[in-house]
Structure 1
Amino acid sequence: MASIWARRKSDGSQSFTVRWRNPQTRKQEAISFATSTEAETLKRLLDANDQSFAIAQHAMVKNQTKAPSVSAVIQEHIDLLVRPSVGTVHTYQTMLDLHIANVIGHIPVDKLDYRHLTYWIKAMQKKGRSPKTIRNNHGLIFAAMETAIMLGYRTDNPCRGVQLPTGEKAEDEARFLTHSEFGLILECMGERYKAFTEFLVMTGTRFGEATAASVADVDLMSKPATIRINKAWKRGAGSQYYIGATKTGAGKRTVSLNPQLVDVLIPLVASRQGSELLFSTPKGERIMHGLFWRHYWLPAVKAAQSQGLKKTPRVHDLRHTHASWLIQDGVSLFIVSRRLGHASTRTTEQVYGHLMPQALQDSADAVERSAVIWREWRVGSA
């Protein structure tokens, strides 16, 4: 990587020397600038282009413009967000600082094009970033470029049409458990979190929603008994967690509770303050996903596998399992969507539509009718 060496001259001014190793000759080269900004720009360009000074120099000359840089525009976009949560601002700021600024952040916003974005994607892939991380960061750049258009910095959005990694991997697919498979895991689950695990699969709530639910959210006297899902744990600045809004507006919902789950919850709400967490650690604190997975979920799954379980489900797969049980029992996608708190039934259909038994049968019957018509036509034309 290139480096910068600052030196104070005899007249009191400073110079900034950028040093790098020529990739062709393998010899060290250097050039000095009067400002640290110019030096930092060259250093970023050298590091982003395999220490090629020719490419870096061309980019510096080409990019001489009065337009703000990509980093400046993304920062302005973040600052202009209306009523963002602390966690959202922190996430976007981390994306900019960690994944964008040092690669394409120096480019004037009116010069950003398809080639820059493609290079950025390849650089992210080279660093081992997941397709999901790349898509999320691209989403931030895309939104910032829309802001740039509104502010008059450029007339089009260069992110449109850029090909993104699909991230379609078999291991990323939803895993569905049968009733007996879940039963094996529940039997092997530590006693402390059996009720919590059963709650996840019986309600389909997200982990952050379930662990943020309070005793006051449960109404065991209504017919049927219900729980109000209206908050979730969020990560703010400094990775501190706080209770905030659900993932989407549709996430605020009332979920009915089946009688078996009611029996499980009665001891958890009896004689407890409404403000207390419904599920918590022995010290009454938030259940942390990583610790639950490592110390309870993973051991339970491994124990179940020793007894015949063939799958390796994630904690989130309890939510998928809940949806699959409902759909296989004939519950409509609309109702499942509302119960899961999806913003659109399209999301529910994309993940679970293939599980609908009647839809599968109807499709097969329709194809068979077409086949019969086609065969009759062939016989008639012979």
Structure 2
Amino acid sequence: MASIWERKKSDGSTSYTVRWRNPGTRKQEGITLATSAEAQTLKRLLDANNQSFEIAQHAMVANQTKAPTLAAVIQEHIDLLVRPSVGTVHTYQTMLKLHIADVIGHIPVDKLDYRHLTYWMKAMQTKGRSAKTIKNNHGLIFSAMETAVRLGYRKDNPCRGVRLPSGEKAEDEARFLTHAEFGMILEGMGERYKAFTEFLVMTGTRFGEATAVTVADVDLMSKPATMRINKAWKRGTDSEYYIGATKTGAGKRTVSLNPHLVEVLIPLVAGRPGSELLFTTPKGERIVHKLCWHHYWVPAVEAAQVRGLKKAPRIHDLRHTHASWLIQDGVSLFTVSRRLGHASTRTTEQVYGHLMPQALQDAADAVERSAVVWRV
């Protein structure tokens, strides 16, 4: 942290010396300024930019411009969003306030450059922010800079070409269950949530989508039986939950139901008003992920691990498991993508492409044909 030292001069005036430790040489440096305001500004900029005097000085000079600040442009970008959800606006406002405004938000938008963005990312890492958090916040800045270009505040987007920290972690990878492994988990699941657990693995729906399905969304009489996914639970500005749109436009879809799942759902549909949620807690309320995880999912997984399960799957891995079963059974990537509600098959391929047995075999056969050449 930089510090400010005040000194009374012989003429009665006060000088202000800002001191900091150079991040490159690790030596203490200082500069004397005439006013407290200048000293406070320099201290704030040094603390926000990893004690880099070069960056801080550049920002102080740049502040003379008449262009709006980065924070102001991001706010304008948020205000210009077309039909954003309440949760999206709240999330963006929180990101701006917590991670951007106090670090580089003061920089004029036409002066923002690669160095500012790099120091911002390093500051985020120093605070222990995850790669995903940095990526999400960078995405907001990127989009705001696109808006800045459209509005004529600057000619280019400085976020283009900026390398983000890797967010790849072994524990973040999708976990796929075999039929036997899922059976072990289902066996230990509480009776109240067995049908819900089977529903997740047999439809591949997201938790927020599955818990928003109503009785009217299910048609068990059609051939095949179907279910309409057209909404999901969202978090509002005060952390309250409400029914909103699906994650993407492609998320609105019709999912076919297999005969076994139809049998499971008949008791849940029979005689109930169409407006009621298909799956609820014993009190008839929305199923909360955190509570379901803690009181039902974790005990079921632990019981399965006692019986030999070697994996530690999450609830969301039932969605991955559903996709893996379809792919291993020869279902096309296009069909899987539409069933999962992905915006494009590229997303599906990135996550599940390695599971396609024929693709793997085709690749192995191609390499073998190439190998014949050098063995001859």
The question of a shared fold, defined as TM-score above 0.5 by the shorter chain, is answered with: yes
1:236 matched to which residue of 2? 236
1:266 matched to which residue of 2? 266
Question: One-letter code of the match for 2:72?
Answer: A
Aligned length: 361
Distance between the aligned counterparts of 1:53 and 1:207, measured in 2?
48
Distance between the aligned counterparts of 1:244 and 1:253, measured in 2?
15
> For residues 285 and 46 of structure 1, do their structure 2 counterparts lie closer, same or farther at Cα, with a shift above 3 Å needed?
same
Distance between the aligned counterparts of 1:55 and 1:183, measured in 2?
58
Give the SS at the match of 1:109.
Answer: coil
Give the SS at the match of 2:242.
Answer: strand
Tell me, yes or no, if structure 1 residue 297 matches structure 2 residue 293. no
Give the SS at the match of 2:238.
Answer: helix
Give the SS at the match of 2:160.
Answer: coil
Is the CA contact 2:2–2:19 (under 8 Å) kept in the aligned structure 1? yes
Is the CA contact 2:234–2:241 (under 8 Å) kept in the aligned structure 1? yes
Tell me, yes or no, if structure 1 residue 226 matches structure 2 residue 194. no
Question: One-letter code of the match for 1:174?
Answer: A
Gaps in structure 2 of 5+ consecutive residues: 5-14, 22-26
Distance between the aligned counterparts of 1:219 and 1:355, measured in 2?
31
Once the two structures are TM-superposed, the CA of residue 54 in structure 1 deviates from its matched residue by 7.8
> For residues 252 and 43 of structure 1, do their structure 2 counterparts lie closer, same or farther at Cα, with a shift above 3 Å needed?
same
Is the CA contact 1:18–1:43 (under 8 Å) kept in the aligned structure 2? no
Question: One-letter code of the match for 2:133?
Answer: T
Distance between the aligned counterparts of 2:52 and 2:365, measured in 1?
62
1:165 matched to which residue of 2? 165
1:184 matched to which residue of 2? 184
Tell me, yes or no, if structure 1 residue 144 matches structure 2 residue 144. yes
Once the two structures are TM-superposed, the CA of residue 337 in structure 1 deviates from its matched residue by 0.6
Distance between the aligned counterparts of 1:18 and 1:241, measured in 2?
51
Distance between the aligned counterparts of 1:268 and 1:182, measured in 2?
22
Is the CA contact 2:73–2:144 (under 8 Å) kept in the aligned structure 1? yes
Q: How does 1:92-103 map to 2 (within 5 A)?
A: 92-103=92-103
1:345 matched to which residue of 2? 345
Give the SS at the match of 2:273.
Answer: coil
Once the two structures are TM-superposed, the CA of residue 374 in structure 1 deviates from its matched residue by 3.2
Give the SS at the match of 2:243.
Answer: strand
Gaps in structure 1 of 5+ consecutive residues: 5-16, 377-382
1:136-171, CA deviations, whole angstroms, 9 ceiling, x for partnerless residues? 111110110011111111111100110001211111
Distance between the aligned counterparts of 2:101 and 2:115, measured in 1?
16
1:217 matched to which residue of 2? 217
Distance between the aligned counterparts of 1:193 and 1:116, measured in 2?
50
Once the two structures are TM-superposed, the CA of residue 62 in structure 1 deviates from its matched residue by 3.6
Give the SS at the match of 1:111.
Answer: coil
Distance between the aligned counterparts of 1:249 and 1:51, measured in 2?
45
2:370 matched to which residue of 1? 370
> For residues 345 and 18 of structure 1, do their structure 2 counterparts lie closer, same or farther at Cα, with a shift above 3 Å needed?
farther
Distance between the aligned counterparts of 1:208 and 1:227, measured in 2?
15
Q: How does 1:77-88 map to 2 (within 5 A)?
A: 77-88=77-88
Give the SS at the match of 1:72.
Answer: helix
2:124 matched to which residue of 1? 124
Is the CA contact 2:49–2:119 (under 8 Å) kept in the aligned structure 1? no
Once the two structures are TM-superposed, the CA of residue 173 in structure 1 deviates from its matched residue by 0.8
Once the two structures are TM-superposed, the CA of residue 58 in structure 1 deviates from its matched residue by 5.0
2:8 matched to which residue of 1? none
Once the two structures are TM-superposed, the CA of residue 33 in structure 1 deviates from its matched residue by 4.8
Distance between the aligned counterparts of 1:143 and 1:336, measured in 2?
30
> For residues 346 and 121 of structure 1, do their structure 2 counterparts lie closer, same or farther at Cα, with a shift above 3 Å needed?
same
Give the SS at the match of 1:104.
Answer: coil
Distance between the aligned counterparts of 1:196 and 1:106, measured in 2?
49
Is the CA contact 1:2–1:18 (under 8 Å) kept in the aligned structure 2? no
> For residues 102 and 110 of structure 1, do their structure 2 counterparts lie closer, same or farther at Cα, with a shift above 3 Å needed?
same
Q: How does 1:244-259 map to 2 (within 5 A)?
A: 244-259=244-259
Question: One-letter code of the match for 1:263?
Answer: E
Distance between the aligned counterparts of 2:292 and 2:265, measured in 1?
20
Q: State the TM-score, normalized to the length of structure 1.
A: 0.88
